[in-house]
Amino acid sequence: MQEQQKGCSYHCQRCSMFIPVLFVLALIGWSYYAFMIAYGGRIEDLATRVLVSILYHIILVLFIWSYMMAIFTNPGPPPPQYYLTEDEHMNMRATDRGREVLQSVSARVSVQERTTTGAMRYCDLCKCIKPDRAHHCSMCMQCVLKMDHHCPWIGNCVGFTNYKYFILFLAYTCLYTLFITLCCIPYITNVWKHRSDDPLNFHVLIMFLISLVFFLTVFGLFSFHIYLLIHNKTTLESSRAPCFRGGFADSKHYDLGGYENVKQVLGDSLYLWAIPVFTSKGNGYVYDTRAYTNTRTDVPARTP
């Protein structure tokens, strides 16, 4: 009965997580009407109207495409070899040799990161050893590879497999709202100068204000994630440097240099950087590190 109630609570929580997503989709639907009908119908020059419409739809398609990919792509659970078998889990719980059990299990996986005390990073809820850069999400109820954060606006965790989509979602949100804002400025300015000729359309005015506010807000977040991208960090790692054997911390352990860091997420092909298809390098649980780092020994702490 308790498991049943827990299951119902979990599914209710999962459903409620999509309320912000529905709000965003409704806002996009309304903005389409406001731009194409309320604003587009007031563009007198046919060539300008066609050009604006084509550019708008290209940006809109890329915006929605990246948004859907960020929402529906599983951010990535740990691979099977990181999970303890039932016997291993029972053995760890039945004795006071939990650390020894984890050490023996870790022989079949590649793990460098440790807790601040130097112990193996283990998730008791998922019953698995956490891969490097992985963390447990209490909202998604699973460990997530290269977890960045849980984003309510996509109803999903941002992790290894959907981080590129999240970056593109932020980029195209900025581009979409900036495009609408710049298009509306001449119209609003013209109406303000000749108020008697054509009253200001309510939908256009509200669309302009909302787009401007969203652009300024999202651009700040986008800039922060560009910084993280260039330095090969996650949001969690930016607030606390990962620890390694011996309890040593290294905030630049995964920093391969700006361009190479960007390629870790966006891929080797420049032509695919702006397209919402998976091109990230690696497998999500084994990562390249700086050349000076000896991954088989303790990593000395370094100043960020």
b (16+ CB within 10 A) / e for 185-215: eebbeebeeeeeeeeebeebbebbebbbebb
How long is the chain?
304
| HEC sequence for 179-191 | HHHHHHHHHHHHH
| Residue position matching structure tokens 């046919």 | 46
- Please give the backbone phi and psi of residue 51, each rounded to the nearest 5 degrees, phi first: -65, -45
Question: What is the C-alpha to C-alpha distance for residues 61 and 24, in angstroms, rounded to an integer?
Answer: 15
Q: Which of 126, 128, 137, 151 is catalytic?
A: 151
Closest of 58, 271, 263, 259 to residue 172, by C-alpha: 58
210 token code pair: 């909302």
| Residue position matching structure tokens 């005015």 | 205
Residue 15 annotated in active site:
no
Amino acid at 167: I
Cβ atoms of residues 106 and 95 within 8 Å: no
Q: What residues are labeled active site? A: 151
